Amino acid sequence: MAANTHYVSDTNPTHVTHAEWYRISLTGILTPQHERFDAMQSIFPPEHRRLEGYGLAFLESEEHSRLYVGSIEQITAYDSDPSTRLDVSRGQTYDHWPHTDGWSEFIPDTTWNPDGRGVVTSFEHPEGGDVLVYEFHGSWLPGRPTRKLVTFHCTHCHADTFYDSGKVQENRGPQDRRWAARLARQHIRSAKQYGVGGQNSECRKADPSMMRIVTQVANEVYGRTSPVPSFESVCATSGPCATVRELKALQAARA
């Protein structure tokens, strides 16, 4: 499938407002029999409320999401033949999937890739390389349960987001992937504004002296004489680059 085009705010180039196309990730039916029906339908303007209930289609791109609300009959017909085109002009569409008043329990967790492992999207770095948003299975700390996570990786500076608070998060829906992509866009923007390694830049190559210190300590502890590896080589063999390479191979095998 061709790369999707995303559009950003006129005032904030990291804030995605909509996309060229969306896939239908989920469908659902909300009826008056649902125990939280009144609270859940309160998010819709009074003129758009349907006493008989709602047919729902949860639309998603790599960096944005929308909720389509139509008739129960329309969504039931679509579910019986998903190859047909969903005519969104027959109802209303709202930005983002709702997460309040019972909606969080109503909408199941989703991932962009079938099992939550793979590259979601990527951006070109202004000085070469890419910044990739990827979802994977992992844990913040050794011995903790494995979770579905999402983050980004810059193949120019190779910074590991596990050591940068707030840049690895649980991957439960498009809002989490949207946030990871926004951080990736911010990373690129800082490189453009301040340059790689600039005083205020988020894009910074690792200090080689740190790798020398780590290697020296390990050699002393284990009685080895290992040479000092480059930060890039460590990333390629056991860091995010290695993870991304495995995820790309997994995606290629699925294709």
CA dihedral for 187, 148, 78, 90, sign (positive or negative): negative
Whether 27 contacts 79, CB under 8 Å: yes
Whether 171 contacts 135, CB under 8 Å: yes
In this predicted structure, what is the pLDDT of residue 217? 60
In this predicted structure, what is the pLDDT of residue 255? 82
Side-chain-side CA neighbours of residue 233 (13 Å): 6
pLDDT exceeds cutoff 90 at 87: yes
In the beta sheet, which residues pair with residue 178?
Answer: none
The type of residue at 14 is T
Identify which has the larger pLDDT, 136 or 140.
136
CB under 8 Å to 8, separation ≥6 — which residues? Answer: 14, 15, 16, 17, 185
pLDDT exceeds cutoff 80 at 190: yes
Counting DSSP H helices and E strands in the chain, the numbers are 7, 10
What percentage of the chain exceeds 70 in pLDDT? 91
pLDDT exceeds cutoff 80 at 229: no
In whole angstroms, give the CA distance from residue 21 to residue 6: 9
pLDDT exceeds cutoff 80 at 162: yes
In this predicted structure, what is the pLDDT of residue 6? 97
In whole angstroms, give the CA distance from residue 119 to residue 250: 10
pLDDT digits (tens, 9 = 90+) for 21-78: 999 999 999 999 999 999 999 999 999 999 999 999 999 999 999 999 999 999 999 9
Average pLDDT, the chain: 91
Phi–psi pair at 187, nearest 5 degrees: -60, -45
In this predicted structure, what is the pLDDT of residue 125? 96
How many residues comprise the chain?
255
